[in-house]
Amino acid sequence: MREQVPRGIIQPHQTRGDVRETCDVVVMGSGAGGAAAAATLAEAGLDVLVLEEGAFHRTSEYGANATAMFSALMRDGGATATIGRAPVPYMEGRCVGGSTVINGGMCWRTPEDVLDHWAGAMGLPDLAPAALDPLFDEVEATINARYQDPGSEGGNNEVFRRGAEKLGWKYQRNKRNQIHCVGSNECVTGCPSGAKQSTVYSWLPRVFARGGRLMTHCKVTKVLVERGRAVGLAGTLDDPHRRRKFVVRAKAVVLAGGAVQTPLLMLRNKIAPKNEHVGRHFTIHPNIKVAALFEDRVESMRGVHQAYQCTEFKKRGILLAPGGIPLMFTAVAFSDFGRRLAERMRDYHHIATGGVLVDDFSSGRIMAPLGIPLVKYDVTDIDQEKFVEAAGLLATLYFAAGAKEVYLPFHGYPVLKSVDDVKKLHDHMPRVEDTEYFTAHLMGSCRMHGDPRQGVVGPDGQCWDLPGLYLADASVMPGTIGVNPQVTIMALARLIALRLADKLQRRAAA
């Protein structure tokens, strides 16, 4: 039976002309932060309208043509990258569900030492572990953060586990937001089986159940400000037939466009022009990929994207993980082309892929000179040393698992044939400019801070410089966390929304 479009979703063909709406709270974005905030507000009895730039896609519409899915689900077809010493490609979901539709589904709570730091040094006592634990429980229950069904892991995860076990390195099973993930390994182009519990299947149904609405194809371009207060959002409705406008007025405005789009909107609208933190402190958990060739078949196609993480080196800011990717992305991972790449890909069945993720000391900046989006980020030499060390560790793990060869993403670097080659890595330290990075975790560009001079929003998520404007997405993260961020983002968004609901209800009662 064909999946229905949920009641509550309003698509362009359901409205005519320019749209004018009023509600209690208008939320920009339906990703991890926006959807969690919207559900919390709707369940508090508030009239909520979510504005989403992208389209709604049914599970059956997550198709096998990867390039078409990139265009359908991602901003700029996924061809986005930071600028700096080396470009770092990144992706932003642009569809109902945001980046949760294209993410890997790994679910980790914010580490306690990070929360202690936020609660103490950053003046945010409400983010202490004891305060956030109940929120993490709620988030995990809502998104079904579970261990994989036994047997769904697949060969790519198995070789990783084998290597970690041989070396006696600590590894942990991932929780993932899924119900019977069957290991089709296509997470990045939308889960074709409906197993992944993106916000489309977790938070948004809760919004609709309480009468909340979501308008698709609505690109917010303007924050309406009256008498020094945010009172609504306006923008363009991307109707395939003609460009229309919308204006939504509300008692409170929540921005949740993600760590790049939220500060961009603020900068373009000259909101908080004197606050130098808008767009700054942007961290990305850069990562690099490593591939290994085995004698036996690995069969990356079968199995979940990532079932384990090796946390042995977490204290040094290094996380190692398998990363199963479909054939086309494995080919892309080799950064080669033509006939030479074609020859290598004959071995596809024997190739395992993984990656290393590093806590970044560097931070970047989102800018909008003349309104043009620029995302600046430089990997520092200190971080690079960690990358080289981490790549060596992952290579060691793969050799322990029986790899014949390991390929590292350092330009001009020879294929490693044994652990002895790993030792030589530090003799010719690969430069930042010669390294191919990637990131999926964009954070902290409008950080929360207890001191108005140090951040963009306060502990309640409200902008220090514009009452009525709340931020509830990855941009408010007070700093880098060293683990996958969606659970943290949802918990923060829920916390912010609970406070906001309380405030609005008290105001209404008064």
Partner 1 sequence: MGRNFSFKGHTRRIARALVDTMMPRWPELEVDLTDRILDDVEGVVRGFPAAFQVGYVAGLWALEAASPLLGGGPQPFTRCDLETRERRLRALQDSKVPQLRQVLLLYGVFVTASAYAQPEVEAFLGVPRRAWRDARARFRERLVQMEASRPLRPATPEALGSHGVAPAATYLDEGTLAAEALRAMGE
Which residues, 6+ apart, have CB-to-CB distance to 502 below 8 Å?
44
**24 or 92: whose CB is closer to ligand FAD?**
92
Please, what sign has the CA dihedral across residues 358, 359, 361, 367? positive
- Separation CA 118–CA 131 (nearest Å): 12
Q: Report 274-313 residues binding partner 1 (CB under 8 A).
A: 301-303
Give, as one character, the DSSP assignment of residue 283.
Answer: B
Number of chain positions touching partner 1 (CB under 8 A): 63
On whether the CB atoms of residues 456 and 275 are closer than 8 A, the answer is yes
For 391, the enclosing helix (H) or strand (E) is helix 381-400
Which residues, 6+ apart, have CB-to-CB distance to 271 below 8 Å?
223, 225, 265, 278, 463, 465, 466, 469
Residue 376 in tokens: 């600046």
Which residues, 6+ apart, have CB-to-CB distance to 472 below 8 Å?
27, 33, 34, 36, 37, 254, 255, 256, 461, 492, 493, 496, 497
For 399, the enclosing helix (H) or strand (E) is helix 381-400
**109 is an interface residue for ligand FAD by CB under 6 A:** no
Site map 426..445 versus partner 1, x via CB under 8 A: -------xx-x---------
Nearest-approach distance from CB 273 to partner 1, in angstroms: 25
Pairing label, strands 243-255, 374-376: unpaired
- Separation CA 131–CA 112 (nearest Å): 11
Nearest-approach distance from CB 330 to partner 1, in angstroms: 8
Q: Which does 154 bind (CB under 5 to 8 A by kind): partner 1, ligand FAD, ligand SF4, none?
A: partner 1
Q: Which does 196 bind (CB under 5 to 8 A by kind): ligand SF4, partner 1, ligand FAD, none?
A: ligand SF4
HSE toward the beta carbon, residue 204, CA cutoff 13 A: 30
Q: Concatenated DSSP letters for 94-139? A: -BTTGGGTTS--EE-PPPHHHHHHHHHTTS-GGGSHHHHHHHHHHH
Out of 305, 365, 441, 447, point to the residue binding ligand SF4 (CB under 6 A).
Answer: 305
Number of chain positions touching ligand FAD (CB under 6 A): 41
Q: Which does 32 bind (CB under 5 to 8 A by kind): partner 1, ligand SF4, ligand FAD, none?
A: ligand FAD
**441 is an interface residue for ligand FAD by CB under 6 A:** yes
Site map 178..197 versus ligand SF4, x via CB under 6 A: x--xxxxxxx---x-x-xx-
**3 is an interface residue for partner 1 by CB under 8 A:** no
Q: Which does 86 bind (CB under 5 to 8 A by kind): ligand FAD, partner 1, ligand SF4, none?
A: partner 1
Q: Report 207-246 residues binding ligand FAD (CB under 6 A).
A: 218-220
* Interior/surface letters 436-445, b for 16+ CB within 10 angstroms, e for the rest: bbbbbbbbbb
Q: Report 123-162 residues binding partner 1 (CB under 8 A).
A: 140-141, 144-152, 154
- Separation CA 201–CA 224 (nearest Å): 31
On whether the CB atoms of residues 205 and 144 are closer than 8 A, the answer is no
Q: Report 331-390 residues binding ligand FAD (CB under 6 A).
A: none
Out of 21, 24, 47, 52, point to the residue binding ligand FAD (CB under 6 A).
Answer: 52
Q: Among the candidate windows 5-13, 38-46, 97-105, 204-212, which touches ligand FAD by CB under 6 A?
A: 97-105
- Separation CA 445–CA 127 (nearest Å): 18
Residues of the shown chain interacting with ligand SF4 in the complex, contacts defined by CB under 6 A: 105, 178, 181-187, 191, 193, 195-196, 304-305
Residues of the shown chain interacting with ligand FAD in the complex, contacts defined by CB under 6 A: 28-34, 51-54, 91-94, 98-100, 102-106, 188, 218-220, 256-259, 261, 265, 440-441, 473-474, 484-486, 489
Residues of the shown chain interacting with partner 1 in the complex, contacts defined by CB under 8 A: 64-68, 70-71, 76-77, 79, 81, 86-87, 140-141, 144-152, 154, 175, 179-180, 182-184, 186, 192-195, 301-303, 326-332, 335-339, 341-342, 345-346, 348-349, 372, 411-412, 433-434, 436
